[in-house]
Structure 1
């Protein structure tokens, strides 16, 4: 048994940030933005500016409170190299959330607020007995970020802002089967991440009523998992001495992301946005885990990642049909950070293309926002020869294909 496969799925804990490409992460931080392809860096739509560009918050006309929830429904199919049998995921879903509250004087230049969002999370359950069962059977990731934010309009055209990003809660549960001479055992790893801090800062410039520009930087955070639980089951007594670990530690990097955005408002009814982001995934080279006791003769597990920096491009717009009704549409193209021969079951990733639609209806100070996304991840094949050449045989050769559907709803109140 190769120890590297024990915690292959652990990399998914940090396989993406909300503004990056890679993994199962899709930008779901604001319901209006979701309907516009995920744009927002160069716009000042609503309180979700705290996430997309804190510098734009001071330019948001209304103070307010908003809450949103999304439902991610992923379909993943896998065909092993040399096989014609297609394996599919068991049904699973996640529910990313977002909450924003913005405050400040009605006519003033200062705005402050609090944001709560879930920028990454994943739940995958592969078919029972699938070919990659010794790499991964189940993964369940959860995270909650909290961001107190301040923003100030230096002039009527220029504003700046920053937020303290707090990894308030992070949890990971990973499971896989263990190949034994006459049977399979099972291992489950369950851990919580320590509270860690980063920052989110931005600048927003609106030279005219028809044009706006923004730049945003989200810092790297090292998420540290200490004393995670390791539980073995189905291990015969004759092999139990080889699987003694009960705890693991790991430090996993949430990489930095830089984004620029452009907003164009040809008239009072139409808004168009374009964003480009660079995720610094090249910092993620190796995934290492340390165990309190031996696992098959070793207390250390390392798995190659060798990620590369990835770009994301987003385009979207909204049109105000009536005083109360606004409609939206958009799309995105994400480059994958995962190189050939380094694909893992928890991130069967490739370049992806997304399409989005959305709508809002306001009832005075109250409003409801609807959005829907379709994410198509291009088919990804890796061969056994690629795994051998890259010394990454702790994963499986074959072809992955993933599609994701994401409906969402939000409520907002302006004051």
Structure 2
């Protein structure tokens, strides 16, 4: 799996799949003509006159910023952070699709659905009890043992890939299709603390989680209707994908009380999606538009890790076998529109726009998981030569910033200094994000 999984677009899903659809900002539910119809709308499989093989990749480049500050009457506890993380992620795809007979078409694709995560290092923090580092760890620290501040490092990545076979039935102007996808998921998360210089990890602190490979089944069902030779309507439903990301978690490495990595169970669900679209083509022009709905709130409000041992220390001092991450994701309505124009024979230009309100609420803002972008613009170019079509696209996600709520898990985790010492209004934090994606694909007609 690629090491950088920070940017998707429509939540943890990408705004488009395939190079041609990328140039039209993902407005593809009624368009057709790509192996990635297996993901967007399998009813459109086999609309090409000949079978096709298609392969390509996208490179996501994301810039994430994290800011926070803590203001206290004790000047030794004051701090401010401004961290920037740059992530590059190559995401390949390939597949084949075509007619099996006059009424039946099929296809198979292997591709990356999306993901999320974040990485920030050397974040200045106070010790969890506001004590000196020596008192906090109980161990001798070579540098900075008599001060009250340390460094925090956080890292998280999750990924979702699919192998997706599908079939479509074409009955006159009606088209119906289904994709049955075998899904693969993986997740990793770390939080460690180091001395104020960042030169050495503090013993007996932090946690590390790594899932075993997780497998699941999912499906996409689609329907399309040709109103005229130029006008088509489409609808697709993507079923939820439920991963059981069981694995292991080590806590407070170096503390003899937590000498082994304990087993952990965790379920993560990617939500169902609904999309409807319209596409119109006449001579050199093609216009396509989509509306959609992603049901995040029913599937991914909270991520719950259940450990075999009570190794998790809460901000209030007691230990638990449960670690909760409240993401507070909200549902998304999306809109996409794309335009395609054939300049000359063999040369096509494309553009598009995609809007989806960020699926993150202020109560869920943290450095680990956040896809904040809302407005996306796209440009594309298609070059055809013989049986080959070479497509290029660029997607740009405009910057967006979100401030974390004072009652968020991340805020409370840095406000509580003991059972009777809670400083709710002294810590504040925010995240911002922008991204760009470069997409290239090659389609070959198979005579």
- Per the shorter chain, which TM-score range? 0.7 to 0.9
SS of 1:321's partner is strand
1:176-325 equivalences in 2 (<5 Å): 176-178=191-193, 183=202, 185-226=205-246, 228-232=247-251, 235-236=253-254, 239-242=255-258, 244-265=260-281, 267-283=282-298, 284-295=300-311, 296=313, 297-325=319-347
Q: CA deviation at 1:281?
A: 1.0
Superposition deviation, residue 141 in structure 1? 2.6
Report the counterpart of residue 144 of structure 1 in structure 2: 161
TM-score between the two structures when normalised by the length of structure 1: 0.85
1:83-127 per-position Cα deviation (integer Å, ceiling 9, x unaligned):
7652111x421112211201324x722111101110112453213
Q: Is the 8 A contact 1:273 1:316 kept in 2?
A: yes
Q: Select which of 45, 49, 54 maps to 1:57.
A: 45
| Post-superposition offset of 1:135 | 8.0
CA contact (8 A) 2:366 2:410 kept: no
Partner of 1:339: 361
| C-alpha deviation, 1:72, in angstroms | 0.7
Structure 2 residue 412 is the aligned partner of structure 1 residue 393: yes
Q: Distance in 2 between matches of 1:391 and 1:186?
A: 15
Instruction: Report what 2:19 is aligned to.
Output: 31
What SS is found at the alignment partner of 1:294? Answer: coil
Aligned pairs, number: 388
Partner of 1:3: none
Q: Which runs of 5+ in 2 are unaligned?
A: 71-78, 127-149, 314-318, 415-426
The partner residue of 2:34 within 34, 46, 53 is 46
Q: Deviations over 1:202-222 (max 9, x none)?
A: 001111122111000000121
TM score, norm. by length of structure 2: 0.79
Distance 2:401 2:268 in 1: 27
Q: Which residue of the other structure, out of 19, 22, 40, is the alignment partner of 2:11?
A: 22
The Cα of 1:60 is off from its aligned counterpart by 3.1
Q: Confirm or deny: 8 A CA contact 2:33 2:46 kept in the other structure.
A: no
Worse overlay, 369-378 or 292-301? 292-301
Could you tell me whether the CA contact under 8 Å between 2:372 and 2:402 is conserved in 1? yes
Q: Which of the residues 315, 335, 350 maps onto 1:328? A: 350
Structure 1 residues 29 and 406, CA gap change in structure 2 (3 angstroms): same
- Alpha-carbon distance in structure 2 between the residues aligned to 1:304 and 1:125: 18
The answer to whether the 8 Å contact 1:35/1:330 transfers is yes
Q: Is the Cα contact below 8 Å between 1:373 and 1:406 reproduced in 2?
A: yes
Secondary structure of the 2:39 match is: helix
Alignment CA distance shift 1:349-1:213 (3 Å): same
Match of 1:87 in 2: 83
For the residue of structure 2 that corresponds to 1:121, the secondary structure is: strand
Q: Greater CA radius of gyration, 1 or 2?
A: 2
Q: Which of 157, 161, 175 matches 2:177?
A: 161
Distance 1:31 1:391, change over 3 A: closer
The answer to whether the Cα contact below 8 Å between 1:93 and 1:123 also exists between their aligned partners in 2 is no
3-state secondary structure, aligned to 1:129:
strand
Structure 1: where are the runs of 5+ without partners?
Answer: 1-11
Over 3 Å counting, the alpha-carbon distance change for 1:214 and 1:375 in structure 2 is same
- Whole-angstrom CA distance in 2 between matches of 1:394 and 1:61: 59
1:324-363: CA deviation from partner (whole Å, max 9, x where unpaired):
1111111111112222222222233435100111111111
List per-residue Cα deviations over 1:23-77 (Å, max 9, x = no partner).
4x42342110001011110111322222111011143333110011011111111
Instruction: Output the CA distance in 2 between the equivalents of 1:60 and 1:130.
Output: 57
For the pair 1:410 / 2:441, whether they are aligned, the reply is yes
The range that moved more, 268-277 or 55-64, is 55-64
Is the contact made by 1:220 and 1:255 (CA closer than 8 Å) also made in structure 2? yes
Question: Equivalents in 2 of 1:336, 1:245: separation in Å?
Answer: 36
Given the superposition, is the C-alpha separation of residues 173 and 130 from structure 1 closer, same or farther in structure 2, using an over 3 Å criterion? farther
